[in-house]
Amino acid sequence: MNRILLQGIKKRLDDKAGRWADELYHVLWAYRTTPRTPTGESPFNLSFGTEAVIPVDVGAPSPRVAIFDEQLNGDGLRANLDLLEEAREESRIRVSAYKQKVSNYHDLKVRPREFRVGDLVLRKAAIS
C-alpha cells in the first residue's frame, strides 16, 4: 500500500513540489475507491457497503445524480448493508483463491535444491 501511495503522490507532485500534504487526500481517495485485484471490490465498498460517489459525479450532471431519490436511496443503502457480510465473505473467498494462484505461480518458478553434508555453500563473512 505504501508503494502505491508513494507512486500516486509522485505522479501528482510533478509541478507542485513541497505540497505533498495537499495532494495526499486525493491520492488516498483514489486508493480507497479503486477496486483491488484480490478482492474485486474497493476498500470503500467493503467498509461501507456501497460505492462512493466521486466529486466529479456530484458537480457534473450524471445519471447517478440526476435520478437520485432520497427515499429510494435510503432503501438501497439498507439493502446494501444487509448484503455487506455476504460481499465480505465473497471477497475473503476471492482473496484466498488469489493467494493460491500467486503461490502456485511462485512455486513454478522455484528450483528445488538439496544439500548434503559435505557440500560446499557460500557463507557470508559477517554472519560467521
Report the percentage of the chain scoring pLDDT > 70. 90
The sign of the dihedral angle between the CA atoms of 105, 106, 108, 109 is positive
pLDDT at 20: 74
Cα-Cα-Cα-Cα torsion 6, 7, 9, 14, nearest 10 degrees, comes to 130
Q: What is the C-alpha to C-alpha distance for residues 107 and 100, in angstroms, rounded to an integer?
A: 10
* pTM, to two decimals: 0.57
Q: Where are the domains of the chain?
A: 2-102
Which pLDDT band, with edges at 50, 70 and 90, does 99 fall under? very high
How do residues 44-82 score in pLDDT, each as one tens digit? 888 887 777 777 666 777 776 677 777 777 787 788 787
Q: What is the C-alpha to C-alpha distance for residues 56 and 32, in angstroms, rounded to an integer?
A: 16
